[in-house]
């Protein structure tokens, strides 16, 4: 059972802004960086955001991340059909001495 | 081209063993921490284990500690995961992943390169 909680689903029409939340605790999000991954159907995950709000080279600036206290968020602005995927937050957990992923959010483009 | 290629997956009976391999190319393997991440059918991602690039320190998820062993051969640019006492709940796609390091800083848990995955099925 994951210690990072995300909504199971989110949706929007093309061009809209969608936000995904990730709730944790003081031992993970509260004291460590948050990373976000995108997983398209049938493919390996792709790093989307690292260190709370940094984008790896090649990731469009439509994707942005933020963190406040023990929660984090991923925002997708200008939603596109190719953004339809599963999204996971992740962070190191000091109590578990290990890395934890969120429960995952399926984004649907209507 | 930076690439990771897993192998070694297959069908194994409960209680059995399997060794996964991950061949790395296109980067200086020895300096990077590496991890294994798995995904059970229809489920989310689960971090399994990690190993540092330099001192060989290892980390495990509670669900596999004592049963799985991560190791690396820097001379062969290969990462391994020895899995013993396998259970049905270990059935998953197993991915190896490379830690992101940029401008001299490595970001714990940020995996910028992933393999295509290898399937492990534990069933009688």
Please give the average per-residue pLDDT across B69-77, as a whole number. 96
Judge whether B107 is closer than 8 Å to chain A, CB to CB.
yes
Beta carbons of A6 and A20 less than 8 angstroms apart: yes
> How confident is the model at residue B102, as a pLDDT?
86
Report pLDDT digits (tens) over B48-70.
999 998 777 999 999 999 999 99
Beta carbons of B84 and B19 less than 8 angstroms apart: no
Q: What are phi and psi of B54, to 5 degrees?
A: -100, -60
Interface test with B, best of A44, A52, A88, A100 (most B CBs within 10 A): A44
pLDDT at A2 over 80: no
SS3 B10: strand
**What's the CA gap between B58 and B82, in Å, rounded?**
13
Chain B positions in Cβ-Cβ contact with residue A88 (cut-off 8 Å): 44-45
pLDDT band at A1 (very low <50, low <70, confident <90, very high): low
Report pLDDT digits (tens) over B11-28.
999 999 999 999 999 999
**What's the CA gap between B35 and A109, in Å, rounded?**
32
Of A44, A51, A56, the CB nearest to B116: A44
The distance of Cα A48 from the centroid of its chain, to the nearest Å, equals 8
The C-alpha of B94 sits at a distance from chain A's nearest C-alpha, in angstroms, of 10
Of B95, B112, B116, the CB nearest to A56: B112
Please give the average per-residue pLDDT across A89-109, as a whole number. 95
Of A45, A88, A102, the CB nearest to B114: A45
Beta carbons of B83 and B67 less than 8 angstroms apart: yes
């Amino acid at each position: 059972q994951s210690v990072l909680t995300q909504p199971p689903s989110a949706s929007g029409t093309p061009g809209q802004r969608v936000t995904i939340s990730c709730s944790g605790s003081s031992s993970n999000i509260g004291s460590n960086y948050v990373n976000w991954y995108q997983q398209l159907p049938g493919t390996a995950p792709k790093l989307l955001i690292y260190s709370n709000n940094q984008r790896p080279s090649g990731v469009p600036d439509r994707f942005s991340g933020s963190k406040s206290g023990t929660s984090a968020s991923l925002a997708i602005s200008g939603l596109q059909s190719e953004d339809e995927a599963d999204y996971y937050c992740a962070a190191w957990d000091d109590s578990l001495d290990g890395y934890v992923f969120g429960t995952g959010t399926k984004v649907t483009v209507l | 081209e930076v690439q990771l290629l897993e192998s070694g997956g297959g069908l194994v009976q409960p209680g059995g063993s399997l060794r996964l391999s991950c061949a790395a190319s296109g980067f200086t393997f020895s300096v990077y921490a590496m991890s294994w991440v798995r995904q059970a059918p229809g489920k989310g991602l689960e971090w399994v284990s990690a190993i540092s690039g330099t001192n060989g320190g290892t980390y495990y998820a509670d669900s596999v500690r004592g049963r799985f062993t991560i190791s690396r051969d820097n001379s062969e640019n290969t990462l391994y995961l020895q899995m013993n006492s396998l259970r049905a709940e270990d059935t998953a796609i197993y991915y190896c992943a490379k830690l992101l390091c940029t401008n001299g800083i490595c970001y714990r848990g940020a995996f910028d390169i992933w393999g295509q995955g290898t399937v492990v099925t534990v069933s009688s």
